[in-house]
Amino acid sequence: MSTLVIVDHGTGNLHSVEKAFRRVGADPVVTSDPARVAAAERLVLPGVGHFGQAMDNLKKHGLIEALDDSVLRRKVPVLGICLGMQLFARRSEEGDVAGLGWIDAQVVRFEVQDTLRYKVPHMGWNSVQQKKPGRLGAWLPAAPLFYFAHSYHLVCGDEGDVLLETTYACTFPSAVERGNILGVQFHPEKSHAAGEQLLRGFLAL
C-alpha cells in the first residue's frame, strides 16, 4: 500500500484519525517531518482547533513548502478533515490569517438568527447532499449521515469545487473536491460505517 502520511500540525484528533485508517486496512505515519510529507503518496490534513494556530504550526515546522510541493506539483491525493479542509482556503475569519490557498474559498463563522433552534458550534449528526459526481463521491453510501463539530464553514468562490452540501442555519459546503484536493467538514473517523466507507474511497484513489 502507498505511503499514507497524517500531517501533525499540533491540533487535535490525530490519533482518532490514525485509528480510523488502521480500521480500514491502512498503515499511516503521523509526522511533522517535512521530508516525510514531501515523500508521501497520500496525505491527510486533520485538525480540531484554531485556524490561525494551525497555520502558525505549519510554518513553524516548515511544512507549507513540503505540502505545496506534494499537492500542487506532484498532485498527491490529500484529504482535509474539518479544520484540515478549512486550511485549504485563501483566508479565514478565525484569526484573520491566510490559508494554504489551494481552493478559492473563505472561512467564515456561522451567523445564526434562530438561536433557539441552532447552536454554535454545529455538533452532531447531519445529512449531506451530493452536488457533483466526484471521485470521492462515488464511495458515498445511500443517504449517509456524518458527524460534525465546527463553528466555521467554507464559502467557495467556485461552486464547481463543492462536492457535498449540508444545511445548518445556512447551506454550506460539507465536502470539496478539486482534482487531487479533497476535503470534508465532518469527521469520518467518528461517522461509523459511512465514514469508513469514505476513507476506503480515499485510499482507492
Catalytically active residues, by annotation: 82, 187, 189
CA angle centred on 165, ends 162 and 170, rounded to 5°? 120
Cell of 52: 490561525
Backbone angles phi, psi at 174, to 5 degrees: -100, -5
The neighbour count for residue 76, using CB atoms within 10 Å, is 22
Residues facing residue 42 across a β-bridge: 4
Q: How far does CA 62 lie from the centroid of its chain?
A: 20
Residues facing residue 7 across a β-bridge: 31
